[in-house]
Amino acid sequence: MKLEGNRIFRRCFSILTATAIAVTSAPAQQPMREAVLARIASVPQAMVAVSFNDLQTGDQLQLNADTVFHAASTMKIPVMIELLRRSDQGAFSLDQDVLLVNSFASLADGSPFSLNKADDDDTTLYAHVGERVTIRDLLRRMITRSSNLATNELIALVGASNVTAMARTLGAAKTHVLRGVEDQKAFDAGLINTTTAADLATLLLAIESRKVLSASKSDEMRDILLAQEDNVKIPAGLPPGTRVAHKTGEITAVSHDAAIVYPDGRKPFILVVLTRGIKDPGESARLIADISRIIYSHAMAAH
């Protein structure tokens, strides 16, 4: 189904592009860059992308920011935006209920597949299969607990192609949301969801700007991201109590975090760190946390 025309999206894309140009024009501080590169070099097998954009100072750091990665669960950010966009336009209410199922069509050949409760970060939702649940509940579970079952239900509702088209409209040119999660036949055929650090930063800027959707829907997206329950990556490198609106993603040897960080007394900064090639999830989490710590120290010193 073709994405509906939306003048406000086009207008806000112009605003976001102008902001991105302004941020890019400010050079990254060399000590921060060198410290981040040194920490990355300590994990020789890792491929790491970083996109840091400071909305207070205009400072930035872009390392491999346009390199394409398997999106893992960070693809749930554009799914959330498209869901709220459609709700904002009156297509449905977030309080509307839908029948929860655990049977989906593979992108590869249309054959049915089901999700395995044991492989999902949110196992509690499976007790409600066959019942009606609200879209709002599915949305919160998709982000805060990274529920795969909720994700597939919501993608079936809005359409993966519409999610990709929306991301394009916002300037996320390399993000492809082809399908839901745990579609093994599609994975084996190379049909995967992809993104870049720069694209995720663009989408987070769209949320933080509060200009792409209504203020209430923008605030709801931020509040859901703030309620994220997996906090061992970017938040772990920040002082306790720092507010972080973020979404993680993780599959075998792939680990990501994409965040809007809200230090006290200043405007926020956007930080996205994507990694691949690290088999130990604990090691990749520590690497992301250390990069977060380096960038936070720089940002606060610059402020």
- The average pLDDT across 212-216 equals 87
The pLDDT tens digits for 75-134 are: 999 999 999 999 999 999 999 999 999 999 999 999 999 999 999 999 999 999 999 999
For a pLDDT cut of 70, what percent of the chain falls above it? 90
User: What pLDDT, on a 0 to 100 scale, did the predictor assign at position 212?
Assistant: 81
Integer Cα distance of 240 and 238 in angstroms: 6
Q: Indicate the pLDDT class of residue 211, thresholds 50, 70 and 90.
A: confident
Which residue has 């009606």 as its token pair? Answer: 132
Q: Which tokens hold the place of 32?
A: 């921060």
HSE-up of residue 147 (Cα within 13 Å, Cβ side): 22
Q: Determine the longest span between alpha carbons in the chain, in angstroms.
A: 56
Q: What is the mean pLDDT of the chain?
A: 91
Integer Cα distance of 178 and 168 in angstroms: 13
The single-letter code of the amino acid at 37 is: L
* Residues 28/299, Cβ–Cβ less than 8 Å: no
* Residues 53/280, Cβ–Cβ less than 8 Å: no
**Number of neighbours of residue 78 by Cβ within 10 angstroms:** 29
| Chain-centre distance for alpha carbon 151 | 13
The residues that bridge with 240 in the sheet, in sequence order, are none
* Residues 196/65, Cβ–Cβ less than 8 Å: yes
pTM for this prediction: 0.90
* Residues 208/55, Cβ–Cβ less than 8 Å: yes
Integer Cα distance of 206 and 84 in angstroms: 13
Q: Indicate the pLDDT class of residue 27, thresholds 50, 70 and 90.
A: low
Of the two residues 5 and 209, the one the predictor is more confident about is 209
Q: Identify the structural domains of the chain with CATH numbers, from first to last.
A: 7-302 (3.40.710.10)
| Chain-centre distance for alpha carbon 82 | 13
HSE-up of residue 181 (Cα within 13 Å, Cβ side): 27
* Residues 159/177, Cβ–Cβ less than 8 Å: no
**Number of neighbours of residue 67 by Cβ within 10 angstroms:** 15
| Chain-centre distance for alpha carbon 178 | 15
Secondary structure (DSSP) of 143-160: HHS--HHHHHHHHHHH-H
pLDDT above 90 (res 267): yes
User: What pLDDT, on a 0 to 100 scale, did the predictor assign at position 2?
Assistant: 35
* Residues 73/155, Cβ–Cβ less than 8 Å: no
Of 97, 92, 72, 73, the closest CA to residue 82 belongs to 92
